[in-house]
Amino acid sequence: MNKNLVSAIALSMTCLAMACQKSVIQELPEISSSSLNITGQSNLTPKELLGKMIYFDANLSEPVGRQACASCHLPDNGYSGFASLPLVGQFSGAVAGIGEGAFPGRFGNRRAPSAAYASFSPTFKMIEDNEFKGGLFWDGRATGLRLGIPAAEQALGPFVSYAEQNHPSPVAVLYKLNSPEYQELWQQVWGSPISTSNQQQIDLNYDRVGLSIAAYEASREVNPFTSKYDAYLRKQTDLTTQEKEGLAIFNNDGKCFRCHLSEGTAVNPPLFTDFQYYNLGIPKNPQNPYYAVNAAFVDKGLGGFLQTSTNAAWRSAAKNNMGKFKTPTLRNIAKGNNKRFMHNGAFTSLEQVVDFYNTRDDSKSRGRWPKPEYDDNLQKGWLGNLKLTAKQQAAVVAFMKTLNDGWSNNASAPVN
């Protein structure tokens, strides 16, 4: 791995565990006055700020200091995880797009999708034809039906997940949060200190952890809509010839817009997802470290979740939804250069992703793509044999690179 990259990552990870936390603590006195400005860039409400502190707090892992939400959803990486990071060392690593848990050597089986723009996902529901929409996670299982907000329910999982932040129970998380760094802000946001006196209080306060994180994830800071494409929609800049060609293909012959909805305006910008579920026939990621634990693992996606649901109508729709995964947003997809793609991290570049959409079913490409991880319910329309030229494929990639937040008129434009 490139030496600079290693030190850049080491820096940002150090920041996760120490420096950022320290600055959070230093900022606290200001919080109770009027300024809530933690980054010098955006003003967060007290609830958003509380969520941000929790999101970046690597103290909230077991062993302590190994991992925060941000370890697998780093802003500089498009709020997603890394392709690979060293496994030995102070912080959790990553293998082939799969993040290591706080406990050394433990891995989940999926790649981290972006936590930015995720809070726009509606609550999970059945739509027509046994299809589903909304919820969070690749399989929608953070439905949002209990708290009304999928992101709040999602955020309750990682702290107590064996393969993530690894606390034995919610109360273990609440004990840590019941500390001087958080007390004042928590009281300001929730009106009373954290209580763990009985199960009801534990449940109530643990839900508040999720609701605080969801508030941060829904904040302007996480969803700024400051990409070059947003500036283009606002008529503040033009796209290059290649980017425009990519946009036209995205919205026509490439058929990307069918699922990564691109219709939108300056005031109502597109999210590049329909929050629905498809089986694109993505191959296995043979390097997924989870296979070391379960060599026979096949990810059933949405169908796997529906199958275990208490809702009878959902259970009977499970078969039709085996192997399907939620369409992810494409915002910030090109951010960071140590990334993998798809639910299992099977693809290593955006070029490869577009090539797959273009040629999955093209007879000339037979044998180039390994067989689907799950071959039932395969999406037939809209992809597989798009007949795009190499130049057109490159243009689609160039267009996707206009979706990174943080663009400004002063930034250097991509080479045309």
Q: Which residues of 239-273 are buried (b: 16+ CB within 10 A; e: fewer)?
A: bbebbbbbbebbeeebbbbbbbbbeeeeeebbbbb
Write phi, then psi, for 250 (nearest 5 degrees): -50, -40
Q: Establish if 115 lies at the interface with ligand HEC (CB under 6 A).
A: yes
Nearer to ligand HEC, 236 or 279 (CB): 279
Are the C-beta atoms of 173 and 114 separated by less than 8 Å?
A: no
**Shortest approach of ligand HEC to residue 225 CB, angstroms?**
17
Residues ≥6 apart with Cβ < 8 Å to 190? 205, 208
Q: Establish if 158 lies at the interface with ligand HEC (CB under 6 A).
A: yes
CA 171 from centroid of its chain's CA atoms: 26
Nearer to ligand HEC, 32 or 104 (CB): 104
In whole angstroms, what is the distance from residue 213 CA to residue 397 CA? 32
Which residue stretch of 197-205, 277-285, 314-322, 364-372 sits at the interface with ligand HEC (rule: CB under 6 A)? 277-285
Are the C-beta atoms of 51 and 70 separated by less than 8 Å?
A: no
Q: Total number of residues binding ligand HEC (CB under 6 A)?
A: 53
- Token pair recorded at residue 24: 């959070």
In whole angstroms, what is the distance from residue 82 CA to residue 62 CA? 20
In whole angstroms, what is the distance from residue 14 CA to residue 8 CA? 10
In whole angstroms, what is the distance from residue 326 CA to residue 137 CA? 8
Work out whether the CA dihedral 77, 83, 84, 90 comes out positive or negative.
positive
Site string for ligand HEC, 244-263 (x = CB under 6 A): ----------xxx-xxx---
Residues 71-110, interacting with ligand HEC (CB under 6 A): 71-73, 99, 101, 108, 110
**Shortest approach of ligand HEC to residue 267 CB, angstroms?**
24
Q: Establish if 360 lies at the interface with ligand HEC (CB under 6 A).
A: no
**Shortest approach of ligand HEC to residue 223 CB, angstroms?**
12
**Shortest approach of ligand HEC to residue 353 CB, angstroms?**
4
**Shortest approach of ligand HEC to residue 84 CB, angstroms?**
14
Q: Establish if 291 lies at the interface with ligand HEC (CB under 6 A).
A: no
Q: Establish if 354 lies at the interface with ligand HEC (CB under 6 A).
A: yes
Which residue stretch of 1-9, 133-141, 262-270, 313-321 sits at the interface with ligand HEC (rule: CB under 6 A)? 133-141
Nearer to ligand HEC, 202 or 213 (CB): 213
Residues 23-82, interacting with ligand HEC (CB under 6 A): 55, 67, 69, 71-73
Q: Establish if 213 lies at the interface with ligand HEC (CB under 6 A).
A: yes
> Which residue of 53, 211, 333, 398 would you call a contact of ligand HEC, by CB under 6 A?
333
**Shortest approach of ligand HEC to residue 7 CB, angstroms?**
22
- Token pair recorded at residue 300: 């059933």
In whole angstroms, what is the distance from residue 226 CA to residue 407 CA? 6
> Which residue of 91, 225, 278, 374 would you call a contact of ligand HEC, by CB under 6 A?
278
Nearer to ligand HEC, 30 or 375 (CB): 375
In whole angstroms, what is the distance from residue 20 CA to residue 38 CA? 10
Write phi, then psi, for 83 (nearest 5 degrees): -70, -50
Find, among 106, 103, 99, the residue nearest to 79 by Cα: 99
Residues that bind ligand HEC (CB under 6 A): 55, 67, 69, 71-73, 99, 101, 108, 110-113, 115, 118, 136-139, 151, 154-155, 158-159, 164-165, 213, 254-256, 258-260, 278, 280, 282, 325-328, 330, 333, 341-343, 350, 353-354, 357, 379, 382-383, 396
